[in-house]
Amino acid sequence: MNDCLFCKIIAGEIPSTKVYEDEYVFAFRDINPQAPVHVLVLPKEHICCADKIDETNSMLVAKCFEAVAKIAKAEGLTNGYRVVNNCGADGGQTVKHLHFHILGGKKLDETMA
Ligand code: 5GP
Ligand code: ZN
């Protein structure tokens, strides 16, 4: 877990542009934005991926989505946005700490896969 990039960002050991934080959730701007607004929303507790969400930790996912709505409002995404989770190798997950991408600020590509 000490080797997790996003745990280090949450701990402030690696700098990030934070946009939101509460007891359960941390959010910051993606270093390689794919849209005018590209924010990563993650539980502070290390969960590796969506595949490991269960009844013991799903409350943290709910907290992430409460944060998504607040961040979208704060970022002015009144015309909509996309929330993406990549899970595992086929899903294209590169950082093994559960996170949700908020993408917005333009009309997004309709391709999903
Ligand atoms: P994934 O591919 O796992 O769904 O998403 C990982 C995301 O983390 C990518 O969009 C990538 O640009 C972003 N990312 C990787 N390293 C860093 C970093 O050090 N800082 C920030 N802010 N974003 C990062
Ligand atoms: Zn982590």
Ligand 1 centroid vs 99 CA: distance in angstroms?
Answer: 9
Closest CA to 104 of 86, 89, 84, 88: 84
Closest atom of ligand 1 to 92 CA is 2
Low-confidence stretches of the chain (pLDDT beneath 70): 1
Q: What is the pLDDT of residue 2?
A: 72
Q: Rounded to two decimals, what is the model's pTM? A: 0.98
Q: What is the pLDDT of residue 38?
A: 98
- Residue reference for tokens 């899903």: 91
Q: Which residue out of 3, 8, 26, 32 has the highest number of ligand 1 atoms within 8 Å of its CB and is therefore the one to mutate?
A: 32
- Token pair of 89, please? 């190798």
Q: Integer distance in angstroms from the first to the last C-alpha of the chain? A: 30
Ligand 1 centroid vs 54 CA: distance in angstroms?
Answer: 24
Q: What is the pLDDT of residue 32?
A: 98
